[in-house]
Amino acid sequence: MSVENLSKDLERVSTETMADIVELRLREFFKKKSFKPGDALPKEMELVVALGVSRNVVREALSRLRMLGMIETRKKRGMILARPDVLGTFERVLDPLIIDDHILQDLFELRLVLEMGLADLIFLRKTDKNIAELEKIALDETHDGEKRFRVKNEIAFHGKLYEITGNNTLKRFQVMLMPVFGYVTTLEKDKEYQTGKVDHLDLVNILKNGTKEDFKAGMYAHLKPHFDSLTKK
């Protein structure tokens, strides 16, 4: 019998620790009881008794949930369910150095997808004020050849585009993906840096006078060097 077949019949021995289990149980418990943010949760010792584990284990699980922002604890007052910061947890693990290369590539593509998809929101929420600020950024750009300046320009300009969408979560997402983007582009530093046919000022002018479709085409042209680096897989 081959190993593959064996592992289908023999379930893997659980390596879960008590803390893992308790963490899961607490999650299920909160959901089952349909606790809402602000609701008071049971005391530590009540959980200890109910779950039949040591306070140590319960505290490890609670510590995890606290890290995620799912619960808040105050001395004496006990614990309450809180609203987790969905992106905050993401930031914690988004270190290019410890993420798998395939995932990094995926995230790189994700960024491109986002930028291409922004157009509709941008056109919905752009204002003369917004565009003026964007134009200022484009005009202020240093045309020094040094890479770090180019990167700085890119961040400022594209960051502003995200801002115009009025979607703060999207904006934070972009900030988080920046290091990934920077990392991946440095990986291909041997290649000659090619800017797209359309630069930032061109995009501003399209925003002013052009149509949404013009903008989408312009953005693609601007990002074309990056799209060209993608493979069919």
- Give the footprint of its own copies on residues 192-231 (CB under 8 A): 213, 216-217, 220, 227, 230
- What span, in angstroms and rounded, lies between the C-alpha atoms of 40 and 95? 35
- Percent of the chain that is helix, strand, coil (3-state, to 5): 65, 5, 30
For the CB of residue 115, give the shortest distance to its own copies in the complex, in Å: 7
- Retrieve residue 112's tokens: 């491109």
Nearer to its own copies, 134 or 164 (CB): 164
Nearer to DNA, 29 or 220 (CB): 29
Nearer to its own copies, 106 or 140 (CB): 106
Quick one: what does residue 53 bind among DNA, its own copies, none, with the CB cut-off 5 to 8 Å set by partner type? DNA
- What span, in angstroms and rounded, lies between the C-alpha atoms of 58 and 20? 10
Quick one: what does residue 163 bind among its own copies, DNA, none, with the CB cut-off 5 to 8 Å set by partner type? none
Q: How far is CA 155 from CA 15, 108, 147, 191, 213, in A?
A: 43, 15, 12, 21, 23
**Helices 44-51 & 18-32 angle (0-180, nearest 10):** 110
Helix (H, G, I), strand (E, B), or coil: what is residue 151?
A: helix
For the CB of residue 59, give the shortest distance to DNA in the complex, in Å: 6
19 is a site residue for its own copies (CB under 8 A) = yes
For the CB of residue 141, give the shortest distance to DNA in the complex, in Å: 47
> 166 — alpha (psi -120 to 50), left (phi > 0) or beta?
left
68 is a site residue for its own copies (CB under 8 A) = yes
Interface map 99-138 toward its own copies (x if CB under 8 A): xx-xx--xx-xx-xxxxxxxxxx--xx-------------
For the CB of residue 89, give the shortest distance to its own copies in the complex, in Å: 5
Contact set with DNA (CB under 7 A): 17-19, 43-45, 52-57, 59, 62, 73-79
Question: For the chain, what's the residue count?
Answer: 233
